[in-house]
Amino acid sequence: MYDGIKGFSDIYPEEMTAYREVINTIEDTARGYGFREIETPAMEPAEMYIDKSGEEIVEELYAFEDKGGRHVSLTPELTPTVARMVAARGQELTKPIKWFSTRAFWRYEEPQQGRFREFNQTNVDIFGSSDPAADAEILAFGANILTGLGLTGEDFEFRVSHRDILIELLQAFDGDVNVREAIRAVDKSEKVEYDEYIRLLVDAGLSEEQAETFVDLLSAGNDDLNELVAFTERVEPAVENLQAVLAAAEDFGVREYCEVSLETARGLDYYTGVVFECFDAEGEISRAIFGGGRYDNLIESYGGPAMPAVGVAPGVMNSTLPLLLQRAGVWPAEELATDYYVLQVGETRSVAARIARQLRERGHVVEADVSGRSFGAQLDYADAINAETVVIVGEQDLENDEVTLKEMDSGDQYQVSIDAFPGDYARPTIDDFQSS
Amino acid sequence: MYDGIKGFSDIYPEEMTAYREVINTIEDTARGYGFREIETPAMEPAEMYIDKSGEEIVEELYAFEDKGGRHVSLTPELTPTVARMVAARGQELTKPIKWFSTRAFWRYEEPQQGRFREFNQTNVDIFGSSDPAADAEILAFGANILTGLGLTGEDFEFRVSHRDILIELLQAFDGDVNVREAIRAVDKSEKVEYDEYIRLLVDAGLSEEQAETFVDLLSAGNDDLNELVAFTERVEPAVENLQAVLAAAEDFGVREYCEVSLETARGLDYYTGVVFECFDAEGEISRAIFGGGRYDNLIESYGGPAMPAVGVAPGVMNSTLPLLLQRAGVWPAEELATDYYVLQVGETRSVAARIARQLRERGHVVEADVSGRSFGAQLDYADAINAETVVIVGEQDLENDEVTLKEMDSGDQYQVSIDAFPGDYARPTIDDFQSS
C-alpha cells in the first residue's frame, strides 16, 4: 500500500463538505465585490521567485529541472504570477483590475498545526488604484468573508500597519539602517523576546537607543499616530494614508474589526503601504489567520507598467482559517446531504430512472441504486447518505400506478400516484400530496 | 519581463467566465447524481505511477527529488490517487463510494491543439459496484453534462467497447498472444494505416491471418455481437455484460448517444470491462473528447480490498471539450457580467457603501468606485464591465434624499427615494419604482 507524501492531505467527502461551504462563502463574497475569476499555472520559471521573492520563500521552493531542461518551480504564492499576467497585458486591461482565484500552493516547510506543504488560498487583488478606498475594499472583503462564515468582532481582529510608516521612521534615525532587515525584525517581534528583538534591530543598523525608541514609537495605536508625526514629519503622508484607509473602512462598515498595530509588518519584501494581518481575537491560535496589503512596485519590477496593487489571500484547505472557525464553533457540519434516494426493486428501473432524472433537473441531489441491492440494503444506504426523502419504486406499488414517499426523519410514508409525482413541485414532499 | 512556461496557460477573466460555466455544469451534474467532492494532493510518490501506470504516462511524468530526498511526481492523472485513498479507508467507507473532483494534472507531452502540459479534469468514479447499472450511470452522467452544456445527439457519440471482449477474443486464438500489447495496437488503430495495424497485432503474437480475423471481428456493431459468441463462447459473459450496460443506459435515457465500437480500447492498462470514448459526431475534432471505463483490479493492486470501479474524466481547461463546444456553437459567452455599479461622487461614500452592501447581500455582483474617479470615468468603467444598472449616488440627489437609477442598455434614468432603495426587491430595477 502506498502512503501519500508528508505535508500533503487527502480530503474525504464529509470533511470536504465543510471546506466547500467555506470556499463558496469566500468566492461568493469575492464575486459580489466584482472580483473576476482567473486561472493560473501551477508552475513558473524558478527565476521568478529567486529574483523577486523573499529569502524564506526561495528556501522553500519545490524547484526542479523539467524534461526540457527548464529550471521550474511549483508556485509558492500567487502574487508573482498575477504580476506577470498584469505585466503581459497591463496596457489593454480595464482598470481597476479586480481578480480572484482559489487554488493550491506549495512550500517545503516543516508541517505543523494549520501549516502544510500543500495549502489552498483564495487570492483577491485590485490592480491600478492607489486610492485608500482600494485598500479599504480589501479590508472590507476580508472582514465580510469572516462575518459571512458566522464570525463576529469578538472572534477576530485585523491588525493594520503601514510599511511606509515603518520605513520613514527607520530612515529618520541617523546612521545607515538596512530597512529591509529592520522590517523583518519587526515581523518577527511577536515571536521573539524583547532583548532579541532589539538585537535584531541593532543588527539592521540602529543603535541600541534608537532601537528602543523605534520599538516604543511602534506601540502607537490609532489615537496617538500624531506622536509619530511629532517625532518626524517625514512620516506624515504615510500616517495620513493610513487614516484615510481607516476612514474608508468606516464607510464600508468594517472599521470596527481593525486596530492599528504597527508591529505588524508582513514577511514578504514586496509590500509597500498598508499591510494587515487577521488574528484570532481570543488568542488561542497564535499564528496569523491570513494577511494582505499594498504592493505598488511589484508589477513594474516584473517589466509591466507602473501599477499600484493591493490584495489579500485567505487560506482555505490546510491553513489556519479552519482552526479559527472551529475554535469559534462555526465550522460547517462535516456530513453528507442527500435530497432524495430513489429506491428501486424489481423490473421498475426505467420508471425509477425517470423520477430520478426529473428530480435532478430541479437541482436536487438524488441517488439511486447502482448495485442491484435488496430493499433493506438500499434503505440502509439511504440512511447512511442522510437522504431526506426516499421514493420507493416497487413492483407492487407500480401495479397500482403508485410510488411510496418515505420521509426518513419522521418515518412517515405516503402513496402517491405515479402520474402526480414529482408534479410541479420544486421540492416535493409527503406534505404536498397529503394536503392536495 | 517573464514568460510563463510552454504548455501552461494563463486564463484571464473573460475566458474564465466561459470555463466557469462549463465547470459549474459538470460539477452540478455530478452533485445531482450524488457524487461527493474530494480534494487530493498535486504530488504523489513517483513509484505509484512507475509501478502502475502505462509506459506512456511514465515517460511524461513531472518527477523530481524533493528537498527531503523523496522521489515525487506531479499527478498525471487522478486514478492512482483515488485508488490509494480508497485502499487506505476501503473497509470503513459506505459502498458504493461515489466521488468527484475538478483539478489540474500535468504531463510532459508535446503541446498541440486541445492538449497542454497542464490540463484540468473532473474525475467522477463509482467504487464498490460491479453492477451494469454503475457503468450505465457513468455513461448517463457523461451524456448529461454534454446535453446540459447544450449539445445534442447530433453533436457527439459515445463509442462503447469492452476490454474483456477484446481479451477473450485474443486469447481464443492459438498461440502466445501478448494481450496488453495487442490492446495497445487496437487503441492506435484509428491513427495508423491498416497494414501498420496488422503489423502491430502480429508483433503482439497473432499470425497475420489471425490478426485479420480479429480486426474483422472487432467491426461487429451492436446488432452482431452474437457473431462474436459464435466465434468463441468464452466471449459470452463479456458480451452479455456489455448488453446489460446498454440496457441500463436505455433505462437511464442515454442509449441513443452510445454506439458499440470494439475498436475503442483506451490507452491505459488498468481498464477491465466496459470502456468508452466520447467523439465529435461531425468528426471535425479527431481526438477523443474524453473517456472512461471500468477498472476492477486497480484498488486491490494498490493494497486495498477487492473493489470494482468505474469512472469518467471530462477535461475542462486546456482540453478538447472546449473545442467541441465551440464547434457546436454552444461555448458560453466570454464576457464579464455585472449586476450593479454604484457610482459615487462627492461626500456620499457611506451612503453608496450601504447600498452596495445591501445589493451584495442579495447575491448580486456589485462594483463601486475604488479609484476616486470622476462621474464620466465611472460611467465608462460601468460600461466596460457590462453593468446592467448604475445606481448614481450624487451630492445633489442626496440633498433631495434621492438616488438615480440608470439602466445601461436603454439609457433610461429614474430618481428613487433613498429610503425606498433597494427596498424589498430581490433585483431592483427602474420598473419596480416607476410602477409603484
Q: How far is A418 from chain B (nearest CA, A)?
A: 17
- Nine cell digits for residue A146: 469572516
**Closest residue, chain B, to A108 (C-alpha):** B67
| A125 marked as binding residue | yes
Q: Which of A80-89, A387-396, B197-206 shows the lowest per-residue confidence on average (mean pLDDT)?
A: A80-89
Residue B63: strand pairing partners = B73
| B78 marked as binding residue | yes
Query: Under an 8 A CB cutoff, do B37 and A28 touch?
Result: no
Three-state SS at A423: coil
Query: Under an 8 A CB cutoff, do A68 and B108 touch?
Result: yes
Cα–Cα distance between B115 and B113 in angstroms, integer? 5
Question: Which among B19, B369, B371 has the least Cβ separation from residue A39?
Answer: B19
Burial class, B367, CB count within 10 angstroms (exposed 0-12 / middle 13-18 / buried 19+): buried
- Nine cell digits for residue B169: 477474443
| B232 marked as binding residue | no
**Under 8 Å CB-to-CB from B119, ≥6 apart: which residues?**
B104, B105, B107, B315, B317, B318, B319
**b/e map B229-250, b = 16+ CB within 10 Å:** bebeeebeebbebbbbbbbbbb
Query: Under an 8 A CB cutoff, do B34 and A365 touch?
Result: yes
Q: How far is A233 from chain B (nearest CA, A)?
A: 26
Q: Which of B246, B331, B322 is nearest to B280 (CA)?
A: B322
Q: Say whether residue B364 is in contact with chain A using an 8 A CB cutoff.
A: yes
- Nine cell digits for residue B183: 490492446
pLDDT in tens, A228-269: 999 999 999 999 999 999 999 999 999 999 999 999 988 778
Which pLDDT belongs to residue A245? 98
Radius of gyration, CA atoms only, chain B: 28
Q: How far is A194 from chain B (nearest CA, A)?
A: 34
pLDDT in tens, A316-345: 887 899 999 999 999 999 999 999 999 999
List chain B residues with CB under 8 Å of A304.
Answer: 1
CA angle A228, A230, A236 (to 5 degrees): 60
List chain B residues with CB under 8 Å of A349.
Answer: 133, 248, 251
| A65 marked as binding residue | no
Which pLDDT belongs to residue B356? 97
Mean pLDDT of chain B: 94
| Residue to test with chain B: of A9, A23, A39, most B Cβ within 10 A | A39
Cα–Cα distance between B78 and B99 in angstroms, integer? 11
Q: Say whether residue B248 is in contact with chain A using an 8 A CB cutoff.
A: yes
Question: Per-residue pLDDT averaged across A98-126, rounded?
Answer: 93
Three-state SS at A402: strand
Q: Which of A113, A36, A57 is nearest to A326 (CA)?
A: A113
Query: Under an 8 A CB cutoff, do B5 and A45 touch?
Result: yes
**Under 8 Å CB-to-CB from A24, ≥6 apart: which residues?**
none
Residues A37 and B20: beta-carbon distance below 8 Å: yes
| Residue A247 φ then ψ, to 5° | -65, -40
Three-state SS at A121: strand
**Closest residue, chain B, to A21 (C-alpha):** B37
- Nine cell digits for residue B160: 462503447
| Residue to test with chain B: of A19, A350, A370, most B Cβ within 10 A | A370
Residues B385 and B396: beta-carbon distance below 8 Å: no
Which pLDDT belongs to residue B339? 98
User: DSSP of A133-157, one letter per residue?
Assistant: HHHHHHHHHHHHHHHHTT--TTTEE
Residues B235 and B162: beta-carbon distance below 8 Å: no
- What's the 3-state SS for A7-64? CCCCECHHHHHHHHHHHHHHHHHHHHCCCEECECCCEEECHHHHHHCCHHHHHCCCEE
Measured in whole angstroms, how far is the alpha carbon of residue B277 from the centre of its chain? 13
Query: Under an 8 A CB cutoff, do A34 and B99 touch?
Result: no
List chain A residues with CB under 8 Å of B384.
Answer: 94
| B107 marked as binding residue | yes
pLDDT at A436 exceeding the cut of 60: no
Residues A372 and B244: beta-carbon distance below 8 Å: no
| B271 marked as binding residue | yes
**Closest residue, chain A, to B60 (C-alpha):** A67
Interface of A with B in 103-122 (CB under 8 A): 104, 106, 108, 118, 120
| B206 marked as binding residue | no
Q: Say whether residue B350 is in contact with chain A using an 8 A CB cutoff.
A: yes
Rounded percentage of chain A residues whose pLDDT exceeds 70: 99
- Nine cell digits for residue B376: 464620466
| Residue A138 φ then ψ, to 5° | -65, -45
- What's the 3-state SS for chain B? CCCCCCCCCCECHHHHHHHHHHHHHHHHHHHHCCCEECECCCEEECHHHHHHCCHHHHHCCCEEECCCCCEEEECCCCHHHHHHHHHHHCCCCCCCEEEEEEEEEECCCCCECCECCEEEEEEEEEECCCCHHHHHHHHHHHHHHHHHCCCCCCCEEEEEEEHHHHHHHHHHCCCCCCHHHHHHHHHHCCCCCHHHHHHHHHHCCCCHHHHHHHHHHHCCCHHHHHHHHHHCHHHHHHHHHHHHHHHHHHHCCCHHHEEECCCCCCCCCCCCCEEEEEEECCCCCCCCCEEEEECCCHHHHCCCCCCCEEEECCEECECCHHHHHHHCCCCCCCCCCEEEEEEECCCCHHHHHHHHHHHHHCCCCEEECCCCCCHHHHHHHHHHCCEEEEEEECHHHHHCCEEEEEECCCCCEEEEEHHHCCCCCCCCCHHHHHCC
Which pLDDT belongs to residue A318? 78
| A91 marked as binding residue | no
Domains of chain B: 13-40+78-327 (3.30.930.10), 338-434 (3.40.50.800)
List chain A residues with CB under 8 Å of B9.
Answer: 39, 41
Residues B276 and B293: beta-carbon distance below 8 Å: yes
Query: Under an 8 A CB cutoff, do B88 and A10 touch?
Result: yes
Q: Say whether residue B187 is in contact with chain A using an 8 A CB cutoff.
A: no
pLDDT at A52 exceeding the cut of 80: no
List chain A residues with CB under 8 Å of B372.
Answer: 131, 133
Q: Put residue B183 in one of left, alpha, beta given phi > 0 → left and psi -120 to 50 → alpha.
A: alpha
Q: Which of A35, A25, A435 is nearest to B385 (CA)?
A: A35
Which pLDDT belongs to residue A2? 87
Query: Under an 8 A CB cutoff, do B370 and A336 touch?
Result: no
Cα–Cα distance between B177 and B195 in angstroms, integer? 19
Q: Which of A175-179, A300-304, A427-431 shows the lowest per-residue confidence on average (mean pLDDT)?
A: A300-304
Mean pLDDT of chain A: 94
| Residue to test with chain A: of B36, B84, B310, most A Cβ within 10 A | B36
CB pairs under 8 A between A and B: 249
Q: Say whether residue A362 is in contact with chain B using an 8 A CB cutoff.
A: no
User: DSSP of A256-317, one letter per residue?
Assistant: GGEEE-TT---S-TT--SEEEEEEETTSSS-S-SEEEEE-TTHHHHTTS----EEEE--BBT
Cα–Cα distance between A245 and B343 in angstroms, integer? 19
Which pLDDT belongs to residue A146? 98
| Residue B37 φ then ψ, to 5° | -75, 140
| A326 marked as binding residue | no
Question: Which among B70, B87, B368 has the least Cβ separation from residue A1?
Answer: B87
Residues B398 and B348: beta-carbon distance below 8 Å: yes
Radius of gyration, CA atoms only, chain A: 28
- Nine cell digits for residue B60: 511524461
List chain B residues with CB under 8 Å of A47.
Answer: 2
Which pLDDT belongs to residue B436? 56
Q: Say whether residue B6 is in contact with chain A using an 8 A CB cutoff.
A: yes
List C-alpha distances in Å: B354 to A26, A428, B256, B373, B419: 20, 38, 54, 19, 11
Question: Which among A99, A357, A371 has the least Cβ separation from residue B129?
Answer: A371
Question: Which among B37, B96, B368 has the least Cβ separation from residue A370?
Answer: B96
Query: Under an 8 A CB cutoff, do B248 and A349 touch?
Result: yes
Q: Say whether residue B383 is in contact with chain A using an 8 A CB cutoff.
A: no
Question: Which among A11, A67, A353 has the least Cβ separation from residue B108?
Answer: A67
Interface of B with A in 43-102 (CB under 8 A): 43-45, 47-48, 62, 64-68, 70, 72, 74, 81, 84-85, 87-89, 94-96, 98-99
List chain A residues with CB under 8 Å of B358.
Answer: none
List chain B residues with CB under 8 Å of A312.
Answer: none
pLDDT per residue rounded down to tens, chain B (436 residues): 789 999 999 999 999 999 999 999 999 999 999 999 999 999 999 999 887 766 677 889 999 999 999 999 999 999 889 989 998 987 889 999 999 999 999 999 998 887 899 999 999 999 999 999 999 999 999 999 999 999 999 999 999 999 999 999 999 998 899 999 999 999 999 889 999 999 999 999 999 999 999 999 999 888 889 999 999 999 999 999 999 999 999 999 999 999 999 999 887 778 999 999 999 999 999 889 999 999 999 888 888 888 999 999 999 887 899 999 999 999 999 999 999 999 999 999 999 999 999 999 999 999 999 999 999 999 999 999 999 999 999 999 999 999 999 999 999 999 999 999 999 999 999 999 986 5
